Amino acid sequence: MRALFCIFSGTGNTKRAGEKLAEELRALGHETDLVMIRADVPMPAVEAYDLLVLGYPVHAFNAPRAVLSFLKKLPKTNKMPAYLMRTSGEPSKINNAAGITPRRMLERRGYEVKGEFVYVMPYNIMFRHSDGMAARMLRAMETRVASDARTIAEGEGKRMRVNALRRSVAFLLRVERPAMPLIGKTFHASKKKCAGCGACVSLCPRGNIRMKDGKPKFGGHCVGCMACAFGCPEDAVRISLLNLWRVNGQYSFDGDPARDDEVGKYCRKMYLRYFHESEEGEAEKK
């Protein structure tokens, strides 16, 4: 089998999970190619593959607009099997709503969506997890990915259900999609901190940033992926209304995974349940 991975990732979490899933599929004897969903990357030749894996982060309980724009242009097929793969900052069930629109769009284009996978990875907005939490999330993701690769190889999988209340809340938060280009237009670089290195220009998957007089200027195509604010080496990007939620700088995934008593108060029960489920999977593998 030849699998094509199409991945949208602002700050690297979904890319990391997609690469790991592809690696596990290769270990099972399948071929994989991974293509990033970016404005400067052309649409891949989907017809050369037997299977599609679409990966993206959850944004406001939904799929980012960049993913929907990609799906609108995706070539039609006749029942090519497809899987959705998401990362999110918390293991909340409401995030399952992020599968609804991509699933419908894929089906309209002739794909057969066989299953969905979710991995909790550190937040890139709102608040910063400890590096210990990041390390535990990475370990959980790697365990889950190994069994998810087997599910794909066997052609199995399941779709995620969302109850009516969660679906309605997620529906309301779709306002993020039209709001982000407007908010993003007012992003700017701190005059004091910006070194004019241009890193944000190449990090932006939407081609939304250009340099003018040695400083970045933000256009009207922002999808709020946070690649610029998170990746700026000087922590110089100011994200307008969202600035109090800014998270800057790569997580270190190399430390000791957080113990249960180090898991913070926010969504504590949900994180512990997610970690314990993943660790049961790890124990089964041994």
Ligand X SMILES: Cc1cc2nc3c(=O)[nH]c(=O)nc-3n(C[C@H](O)[C@H](O)[C@H](O)COP(=O)(O)O)c2cc1C
Q: Do 51 and 3 form a contact (C-beta atoms < 8 A)?
A: yes
* Between 21 and 226, CB nearer to ligand SF4: 226
Number of residues near ligand SF4 (by CB under 6 A): 29
Among 15, 86, 103, 206, binds ligand SF4 (CB under 6 A): 206
Among 155, 196, 249, 264, binds ligand SF4 (CB under 6 A): 196
Would strands 80-88 and 111-120 be described as parallel, antiparallel, or unpaired?
A: parallel
Binding track over 127-166 against ligand SF4, x by CB under 6 A: ----------------------------------------
- Residue 239: which of 161, 149, 179, 170 has the closest Cα? 179
Assigned token pair, 30: 């399948």
Q: Do 160 and 114 form a contact (C-beta atoms < 8 A)?
A: no
Q: Residue 62 burial (CB < 10 Å; 0-12/13-18/19+)?
A: buried
* Between 144 and 206, CB nearer to ligand SF4: 206
Among 94, 100, 204, 247, binds ligand SF4 (CB under 6 A): 204
- Residue 154: which of 39, 279, 25, 65 has the closest Cα? 25
* Between 126 and 195, CB nearer to ligand X: 126
- Residue 37: which of 285, 225, 278 has the closest Cα? 225
* Between 58 and 71, CB nearer to ligand X: 58
Using alpha carbons only, give the angle 87, 92, 93 rounded to the nearest 5 degrees: 100
Residues that bind ligand X (CB under 6 A): 9-15, 57-61, 87-90, 92, 95, 121, 123-125, 224-226
Contacts to ligand SF4 by CB under 6 A: 10, 184, 187, 189, 194-200, 203-204, 206, 208-209, 216, 218, 222-228, 232, 234, 236-237
